[in-house]
C-alpha cells in the first residue's frame, strides 16, 4: 500500500526512522506510520473512548498516512510514541524587559531547540539602545545586541539531534531601534540563525501612503521617543528584502484583527516561517493534506477532502493531549486555546492534474474555494469535538462565543511550507508552484541522476516528445517556458516559481488566506533582475489584499544558488610518465591574501622562487579541525603540482567553482568554498590583480536553488527563509 519515491526513502532513513545504539535502522516507514498512529489514537482513552474504537481510529490514521493523503509536522513523525514525545513544530516565547527574563527566554529556547521545535520572539518590549537602566545607573544595549546572544546560543544546540534551531525575530516598526533592526542582516554573517520581520502597523502604512512622519514609542515608558519619515523607513525595509530577503514583514494589526482570544493578550510574534502567529508560550501542531490525492478523474474529490479534514482535526486535537511539552508554561498556554494548524501541500500538482495553469484566475478561485471548504469542514469538526470533549478553556471570552455552541480549537487552519514532509509525500511543497520540472540529483560520489517530475514525464511521453536529450535540456534551463520543442499548452501548465509573476504569487497567497485562521507561508520568488520597485509593489499588494505577512526572495540575492547544468564529457586523460617535483628552495618570496569564506577567514599565502610559483600555504581556524586539515591537504598537493611543472592556470581552473554548503561574499563575488578561495588567489597571480577576480570561468546558471546540501551534495531550494535539500530533506534556516 505504501509507495514512496527514492527521495522520500532517503529522507525517512536519514531523519525520521528509529535507529539502535549502533546506528542501525530498526524501523521501516510502515513501522513509523503505525507508531505515530497508535500513539496519537491511544490518548482517546483520556476521553473514555472504548479500546476497540481507539484501535479502529489508529488504523484509520495509519492508512491515511500510508496512502500519503496527509502527514503531520516533522516533530510528530519523529517523536510520537518515543521517549522524547515533543510533537509541536513551533513556539513563541516572550522576551520581557529585564535581564532575568531575557536569559530565561534564551534557556527556554535552547530546551525547545533540543526537543526539535523552532522558536519565534518579539523583541518589541525591550527598551532601546542607550535608554536608562535604573538598577545599575547605566544604559541599555538594545534588542539587537541581545538577539546576537540568542543567535549564539542557537548555534550551539542541534534541533532534536537533527538540525540547528531556527528562530524568528520580530520588532515593531514604531520601536526606537527599528533602523538598526532593519539593517541587522545586511551582513549575512550576522544573526545567521534568525529570520527577521518588521511588525508593520496600520498607522505606519497610512503614514507611508500620506507621505508623513510617524511616532516612535519607547516600550519602557510608553511615551513618544521621536519620529521618522514613514516612506524612508519603508524604503529601507524594501531595499533589505531586495538585497537578501531580510527583513520580511508582518502586518501586525491584521494579525490581531483575527486574534481569536484577545482576552489572553495581543499577538506580537510568529513562528520561524511566519505562518503561525502565536501568543507568548503558545505552540501549534500542524498537519497538511496532500491535495494531489484529493483528485478523482479531472475533478476535485470534495467528499474525500471533507472526510480527510474532519479526521485530521481529531488527529491534531489528540496531538495536543499526547504532546510532552518542553515547558510547563507552554503546556498551560497551549491548552488554553488548543490551536491546531491544518494546511495543504501538493497544490501545484493538483492544478496540473486538473489542467489549470498556476498563474490563472481559475487557479486563484480554486485556491480560495479549497481553503474556505477546509476551514468550514474543520470548524464543524471542531464544534462536534467541543460538544463531546468540551470547548477550549478560553472559549467563553473568545471571538467565537456567540457564533458556535461549542468549539474545541481556537484556530483550525494554517498553510505551512511543508519543505520536508512534501518530499516524503512525493508532492509539491505547500501552495508553491513547482520549483523545477527536471533537475539533476547527486548520488554517491560522482553519479548524477536526472529527476523528472512524474506528471511532466507522463505528459511529454503522451505527446511523443520524451527523450533523454530533451530532459537534459530542461534540467539545464530550469524551466520549460522557452523550449520550443514543447507545445505551448504544456509550457503554460508546467510553470515553475520563476515563471510566475509576483502578482500571481500574492494573489494565490491572498486567496488561501481567506480560508486560513492563522497565516499562510508563501515565498514570492523574484528573478535576479527584479528591481526595488518590484518589491515595493509586492508589499503594497500583499497589504491591500489581506495577507498577514509577506516574504520575498530575489534569485541569487543570498549566497550562491547553482542549478547544475549538463557539462560536456571530458576526454580521458592520457597516461604520462611520473614527474618528480623540484626541491623547495631555502628562501622564497610571497604575499598573503585574506579571503572570507563560509567557514571563516582563510589566509592564503602564495610563494615563488626563481622559476615561478612554488608553494601555497593556507590557514583557517584552529589546527586539528576538519577544515584546517582539508585546506592543508589541498595546499600541499597544489605546492607539489606547482613544483612538478603543472601550469598555474590549470590548477586555478580546477579549484575555481568548487562548492560547499556555506558560500560567502567578498568584493561583490561569491566565494564558493575554501578550495575556490585558493583558486581565486592563484588566478589573481596570473592576472596580476590585487582584488579577487570575477568568476568568469565558472559555468553557472542562477535559479531558485540554495547551494549544495552538506549531507548528500544535491541542490537546496529557498523556502520561507530556510534552505531545504530537494533530495534528502536536510534544512537550515537563515
Give the model confidence (pLDDT) of 53-63 as tens digits: 999 999 999 99
Region 377-395 average pLDDT: 98
Task: Kindly report which listed range (354-363, 514-523, 557-566) carries the lowest average pLDDT score.
Answer: 557-566
Report the pLDDT averaged over residues 68-82: 96
Pairing status of strand 248-251 against strand 194-200: parallel
Residue 574 has pLDDT above 70, yes or no: no
Q: What is the CATH number of the domain that holds 263?
A: 3.20.70.20
- Residue 40: name the closest of 317, 284, 318 by CA: 318
State mean pLDDT over 570-582: 50
Q: Are residues 124 and 215 in the same domain?
A: yes
Tell me whether residue 159 is in a domain: yes
CA distances in angstroms from 734 to 34, 221, 311, 466, 632, listed in the order given: 34, 33, 35, 38, 30
* pLDDT value at residue 385: 98
> pLDDT tens, 553-571?
998 886 533 333 333 343 3
The CA-atom distances, in angstroms, between 187 and each of 244, 357, 722, 723 are 9, 38, 17, 18
Query: Is residue 127 in a domain?
Result: yes
pLDDT above 80 for 197: yes
Q: What is the pLDDT of residue 593?
A: 84
pLDDT at position 697 over 70: no
Residue 355, by phi and psi: left (phi above 0), alpha (psi -120 to 50) or beta? left
Q: Report yes or no on 364 lying in a domain.
A: yes
Spatial distance between the Cα atoms of 545 and 552, rounded to a whole number of angstroms: 16
486, HSE (Cβ side, Cα atoms, 13 Å): 25
Are 165 and 258 part of one and the same domain? yes
Taking only the tens place, the pLDDT of each residue in 423-448 is: 999 999 999 999 889 987 665 444 56
**pLDDT score of 623 more than 80:** no
Q: Is the same domain home to 676 and 633? A: yes
Whether residue 124 is contained in a domain is answered as: yes
Between the CA atoms of 526, 527, 532 and 535, what dihedral angle is there, to the nearest 10 degrees?
-10
For residues 110 and 72, state if they share a domain: no
Average pLDDT rounded to a whole number, residues 7-33 = 94
- Strand 158-159 with 269-270, pairing: unpaired
Residue 440 main-chain phi, psi, to 5 deg: -100, 130
457/373 same-domain check: no
Asked whether the beta carbons of 43 and 320 are under 8 A apart, the reply is: no
> Do the domain assignments include residue 704?
no
Please tell me the distance from the alpha carbon of residue 541 to that of residue 412, in angstroms, as a whole number.
Answer: 26
Tell me which of 592 and 275 has the higher pLDDT.
Answer: 275
Phi, psi of 536 (to 5 degrees): -55, -45
> Which pLDDT does position 699 carry in this prediction?
34
Q: Is 527 within a domain?
A: no
Q: Quick one: CA dihedral 76, 54, 516, 352, positive or negative?
A: positive
Domain annotation covers residue 603: yes
Is 427 an active-site residue?
no
- Establish if 324 belongs to a structural domain: yes
Residues 612 and 728 in one domain: no
**Residue 728 sits in which domain range?**
438-495+560-567+713-733
**pLDDT grade, residue 577 (50/70/90)?**
very low
Distance of CA 636 to the CA centre of its chain: 38
Name the active-site residue from 44, 188, 268, 275. Answer: 275
Closest CA to 63 of 300, 304, 297, 409: 304
b/e for 402-415, b at 16 or more Cβ within 10 A? Answer: eebebbbbbbbbbb
| 731 class by beta-carbon count within 10 Å (0-12 exposed, 13-18 middle, 19+ buried) | buried
Terminal-to-terminal C-alpha distance of the chain: 38
Question: Residue 490 in contact with residue 519, Cβ under 8 Å?
Answer: no
For residue 213, list its beta bridge partners.
229
Identify the weakest region by mean pLDDT among 67-71, 133-137, 265-269, 705-709. Answer: 705-709
Q: Is 273 a catalytic residue?
A: yes
pLDDT > 70 in the chain, percent: 88
User: Are both 227 and 109 inside the same structural domain?
Assistant: yes
Q: Which of 287, 334, 322 lies closest to 93 in space, CA to CA?
A: 334
Of the two residues 81 and 708, the one the predictor is more confident about is 81
- Which grid coordinates belong to 102? 531575557
Q: Are strands 447-452 and 269-270 parallel, antiparallel or unpaired?
A: unpaired
Count CA atoms within 13 Å of residue 186 on its CB side. Answer: 10
Q: Which of 191-205, 488-502, 656-670 has the lowest mean pLDDT?
A: 656-670
- Of the listed ranges 159-168, 311-320, 687-696, the least confidently predicted one is 687-696
Q: Are 415 and 273 in contact (CB under 8 A)?
A: no
- Check whether residue 98 and residue 143 sit in a common domain: yes
Q: Give me the mean pLDDT over the 35-60 stretch.
A: 97
Pairing verdict, β 194-200 and 167-172: parallel
Q: Are residues 102 and 76 in the same domain?
A: no
The mean predicted confidence, pLDDT, of the chain is 88
CA 30, 36, 41, 42 torsion-angle sign: positive
Give dist(CA 96, CA 345) in Å, integer.
Answer: 36
The dihedral through the CA atoms of 385, 391, 397, 402 has a sign that is positive
Band of residue 573 on the pLDDT scale cut at 50, 70, 90: very low
pLDDT per position as a tens digit, 16-27: 999 999 999 999
d(CA 550, CA 182): 15
Average of per-residue pLDDT across 386-403 = 97
Phi/psi-derived region of residue 435, left when phi > 0, alpha when psi is between -120 and 50, beta in every other case = alpha
Burial 286-315 (b: 16+ CB within 10 A, else e): bbbbbbbbbbeeeebeeeebbebbbbbbbb
DSSP codes joined into one string, 232-270: HHHHHHHHHHHHHS--EEEEHHHHHHT-S-GGG----EE
Is 126 found in the same domain as 258? yes
CA distances from 8 to 2, 421, 465, 691, 705 (A): 11, 9, 28, 44, 19
Q: Is pLDDT larger for residue 478 or for residue 230?
A: 230
What's the confidence (pLDDT) of residue 658?
85
Give 185-192 contacts, CB < 8 A, sequence gap 24+: 185/240, 185/244, 185/246, 185/247, 185/734, 186/240, 186/243, 186/244, 188/244, 188/558, 188/559, 188/664, 188/665, 189/664, 190/148, 190/151, 191/147, 191/148, 191/151, 191/734, 192/151, 192/155, 192/734
What is the model's pLDDT at position 700? 38
Catalytic-role residue among 193, 259, 271, 518: 271
Q: How confident is the model at residue 662 (pLDDT cuts 50, 70, 90)?
A: low
Last residue of a domain, one of 237, 270, 303: 270
Residue that wins the pLDDT comparison between 156 and 336: 336
Band the pLDDT of 572: cuts 50, 70, 90: very low
Q: For residue 668, what pLDDT band results from cuts at 50, 70 and 90?
A: low
Confidence of residue 325 (pLDDT cuts 50, 70, 90): very high
| Distant-in-sequence, close-in-space partners of 674: CB < 8 Å, separation ≥ 6 | 597, 599, 602, 618, 620, 627, 630, 631, 634, 660
Q: Mean pLDDT lowest for which of 8-22, 42-56, 196-210, 584-598?
A: 584-598
Q: What is the pLDDT of residue 56?
A: 98
Do both 80 and 98 map to the same domain? no
Which pLDDT value is given to residue 134? 74
pLDDT on residue 133: 87
Identify the residue whose cell numbers are 626541491.
Answer: 583
Query: Residue 561: which of 436, 462, 410, 680 has the closest Cα?
Result: 436
CB neighbour list of residue 504: distance below 8 Å, 6 or more residues apart: 358, 359, 364
Quick one: 61 and 158 in the same domain? no
Give me the pLDDT at residue 91, please. 96
Instruction: Please choose, from the candidates 662, 688, 674, the residue with its C-alpha nearest in 3D space to the C-alpha of residue 635.
Output: 674
Rounding to the nearest 10 degrees, give the CA dihedral for residues 115, 549, 371, 325: 20
Q: What pLDDT is recorded for position 309?
A: 98
577 is catalytic: no
pLDDT tens digits for range 525-541: 898 899 999 999 999 99
Query: For the chain, what is the domain count?
Result: 4
Q: Which of 79, 90, 151, 273 is catalytic?
A: 273
* CA separation for the pair 370, 230 (Å, rounded): 37
CA 443/CA 449 separation, integer angstroms: 7
pLDDT computed for residue 164 by the predictor: 60
- pTM of this prediction? 0.80
Q: Look at 45-49, 303-307, 448-452 and tell me which has the smallest mean pLDDT.
A: 448-452
**Sign of the torsion angle spanned by Cα atoms 553, 556, 559, 563:** positive
- Pairing mode of beta strands 90-93, 295-296: unpaired
In three-state form (DSSP H/G/I as H, E/B as E, the rest C), the secondary structure along 530-588 is CCHHHHHHHHHHHHHCCCCEEEEEECCCCCCCCECCCCCCCCCCCCCCCCCCCCCCCCC
pLDDT tier, 116 (very low <50, low <70, confident <90, very high otherwise): confident
Amino acid at each position: 500500500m505504501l509507495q514512496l519515491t527514492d527521495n522520500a526513502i532517503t529522507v525517512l532513513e536519514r531523519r525520521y526512522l528509529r535507529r539502535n545504539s549502533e546506528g542501525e535502522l530498526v524501523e521501516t516507514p510502515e513501522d513509523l506510520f503505525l507508531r505515530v498512529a497508535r500513539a496519537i489514537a491511544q490518548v482517546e482513552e483520556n476521553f473514555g473512548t472504548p479500546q476497540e474504537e481507539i484501535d479502529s481510529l489508529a488504523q484509520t490514521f495509519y492508512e491515511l498516512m500510508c496512502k500519503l493523503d496527509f502527514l503531520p509536522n516533522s516533530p510528530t513523525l519523529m517523536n510520537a510514541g518515543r521517549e522524547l514525545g515533543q510533537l509541536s513544530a513551533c513556539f513563541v516565547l516572550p522576551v520581557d524587559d529585564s535581564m532575568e527574563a531575557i536569559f530565561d527566554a534564551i534557556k527556554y529556547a535552547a530546551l525547545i531547540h533540543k526537543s526539535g521545535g523552532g522558536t519565534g520572539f518579539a523583541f518589541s518590549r525591550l527598551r532601546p539602545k542607550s535608554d536608562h537602566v535604573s538598577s545599575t545607573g547605566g544604559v541599555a544595549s538594545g534588542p539587537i545586541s541581545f538577539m546576537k546572544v540568542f543567535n549564539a546560543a542557537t548555534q550551539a544546540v542541534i534541533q532534536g539531534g537533527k538540525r540547528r534551531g531556527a528562530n524568528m525575530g520580530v520588532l515593531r516598526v514604531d520601536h526606537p531601534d527599528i533602523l538598526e533592526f532593519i539593517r541587522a542582516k545586511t551582513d549575512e554573517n550576522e544573526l545567521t540563525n534568525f529570520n527577521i520581520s518588521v511588525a508593520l502597523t496600520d498607522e505606519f502604512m497610512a503614514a507611508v501612503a500620506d507621505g508623513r512622519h510617524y511616532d516612535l514609542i519607547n516600550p519602557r515608558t510608553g511615551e513618544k521617543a521621536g519620529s521618522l519619515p514613514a516612506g524612508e523607513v519603508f524604503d529601507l525595509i524594501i531595499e533589505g528584502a531586495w538585497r537578501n530577503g531580510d527583513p520580511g514583514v508582518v502586518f501586525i494589526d491584521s494579525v490581531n484583527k483575527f486574534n481569536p482570544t484577545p482576552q489572553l493578550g495581543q499577538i506580537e510574534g510568529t513562528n520561524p516561517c511566519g505562518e503561525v502567529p502565536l501568543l507568548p508560550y503558545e505552540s501549534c501542531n500542524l498537519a497538511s493534506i496532500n491535495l494531489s490525492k484529493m483528485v478523482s478523474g479531472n475533478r476535485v474529490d470534495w467528499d474525500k477532502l471533507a472526510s480527510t479534514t474532519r479526521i485530521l482535526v481529531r488527529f491534531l486535537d489528540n496531538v495536543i493531549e499526547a504532546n510532552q511539552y518542553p515547558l510547563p508554561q507552554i503546556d498551560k498556554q497551549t491548552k488554553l486555546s488548543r490551536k491546531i494548524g491544518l494546511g495543504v501541500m501538493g497544490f501545484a500538482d493538483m492544478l496540473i492534474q486538473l489542467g489549470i495553469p498556476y498563474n490563472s484566475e481559475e487557479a486563484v478561485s480554486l485556491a480560495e474555494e479549497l481553503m474556505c471548504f477546509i476551514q468550514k469542514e474543520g470548524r464543524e469538526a471542531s464544534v462536534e469535538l467541543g460538544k463531546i470533549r468540551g470547548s477550549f478553556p478560553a472559549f467563553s471570552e473568545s471571538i467565537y462565543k456567540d457564533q458556535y455552541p461549542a468549539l474545541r480549537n481556537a484556530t483550525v487552519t494554517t498553510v505551512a511550507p511543508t519543505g520536508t514532509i512534501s518530499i516524503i509525500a512525493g508532492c509539491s511543497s505547500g501552495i508553491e508552484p513547482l520549483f523545477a520540472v527536471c533537475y539533476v540529483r547527486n548520488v554517491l560520489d560522482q553519479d548524477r541522476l536526472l529527476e523528472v517530475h512524474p506528471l511532466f514525464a507522463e505528459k511529454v511521453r503522451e505527446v511523443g516528445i520524451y527523450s533523454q536529450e530533451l530532459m537534459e535540456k530542461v534540467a539545464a534551463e530550469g524551466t520549460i517556458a522557452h523550449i520550443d520543442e514543447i507545445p505551448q499548452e504544456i509550457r503554460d501548465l508546467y510553470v515553475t516559481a520563476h515563471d510566475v509573476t509576483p502578482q500571481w504569487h500574492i494573489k494565490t497567497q491572498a486567496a488561501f488566506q481567506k480560508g486560513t485562521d492563522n497565516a499562510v507561508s508563501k515565498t514570492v520568488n523574484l528573478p535576479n533582475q527584479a528591481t526595488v520597485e518590484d518589491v515595493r509593489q509586492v508589499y503594497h499588494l500583499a497589504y491591500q489584499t489581506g495577507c498577514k505577512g509577506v516574504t520575498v526572495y530575489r534569485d541569487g540575492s543570498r549566497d550562491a544558488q547553482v542549478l547544475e547544468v549538463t557539462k560536456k564529457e571530458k576526454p580521458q586523460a592520457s597516461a604520462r610518465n611520473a614527474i618528480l617535483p623540484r626541491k623547495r628552495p631555502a628562501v622564497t618570496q610571497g604575499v598573503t591574501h585574506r579571503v572570507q569564506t563560509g567557514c571563516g577567514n582563510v589566509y592564503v599565502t602564495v610563494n615563488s622562487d626563481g622559476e615561478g610559483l612554488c608553494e601555497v600555504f593556507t590557514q583557517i581556524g584552529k589546527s586539528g579541525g576538519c577544515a584546517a586539515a582539508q585546506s592543508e591537504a589541498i595546499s600541499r598537493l597544489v605546492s607539489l603540482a606547482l613544483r612538478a611543472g603543472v601550469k598555474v592556470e590549470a590548477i586555478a581552473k580546477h579549484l575555481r567553482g568548487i562548492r560547499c554548503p556555506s558560500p560567502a561574499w567578498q568584493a561583490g563575488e561569491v566565494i564558493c568554498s575554501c578550495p575556490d578561495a585558493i583558486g581565486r588567489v592563484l588566478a589573481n597571480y596570473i592576472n596580476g590583480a590585487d582584488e579577487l577576480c570575477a568568476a568568469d570561468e565558472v559555468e553557472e546558471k542562477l535559479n531558485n536553488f540554495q547551494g549544495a546540501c552538506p549531507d548528500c551534495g544535491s541542490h537546496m531550494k529557498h523556502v520561507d527563509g530556510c534552505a531545504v535539500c530537494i533530495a534528502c530533506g536536510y534544512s537550515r534556516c537563515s
